[in-house]
Amino acid sequence: MALFSAEEVALLPVVWPSVDWRAVRTVAAGRRSPLAGLAQAADEYRLLLAGVARIARVGRAAVVQWRRRHPDFPDPVGGTEAHPEFDRSAGVALLLAHDKIEVPVGVPSATLFVAGGAGRRTVRIRLDGPHLVLADHVDGEDVVSGWSTDEDADELVALAAKESGASAGRGDGAPGTAPLAVQGRVRVIERFRAGSGGLR
């Protein structure tokens, strides 16, 4: 199995702009992933000048100019004189070296939908910078951490503290946020930096 660096993983949405990454992140259990439709042929890892332009979000003419100006522009690995093909990883390396693209570092916001027990309403809570912490031991519990508003944090603590508990599920999210799925009951393990909305 191929190993990937954290940078390569972070760059996936940049390097493969043709993939609907929102659909990949939100595909339901048992459904076919959009990634399954990607061809495994070697030519998938080659780029035309237009492909390099698509990754850099510029026009093809700009890439033609870069090819003339930069001596480190990769040599073609295939194609024709009029339509040369370049190795995708070499093209990405060039774009990174010349600051034409950046490695995404931010974690997108997520929307957590929490349904209170005994017919209570569903509460939508926005988490900023959410991340999944995996338990070290098989009997441990995985937890989702993130930052929310003070009001949302208080409401989530109150919902999770009730006898009936609360359950969270997948939702369509809100504008500018990605949906977050957490199966089972929600339990607030701790609030960190009390008063600032940090939750685990």
Q: Give the distance from CA 160 to its chain's centroid.
A: 27
For residue 166, the cross-strand partners are: 116
Q: What is the pLDDT of residues 133-154, one digit of tens each?
A: 777 777 777 777 888 888 888 8
pLDDT < 70 stretches in the chain: 1-3, 22, 25-29, 37-44, 105-108, 116-120, 163-184, 193-195
* DSSP H or E run through 22: helix 21-26
Coil/strand/helix, residue 37: helix
The CA-based dihedral angle spanning residues 88, 91, 95, 97, taken in that order and rounded to the nearest 10 degrees: 110
Q: What is the pLDDT of residues 97-113, one digit of tens each?
A: 999 998 876 656 777 77
Distance between CA 52 and CA 146 in Å, rounded? 35
Q: What percent of the chain has pLDDT over 70?
A: 74
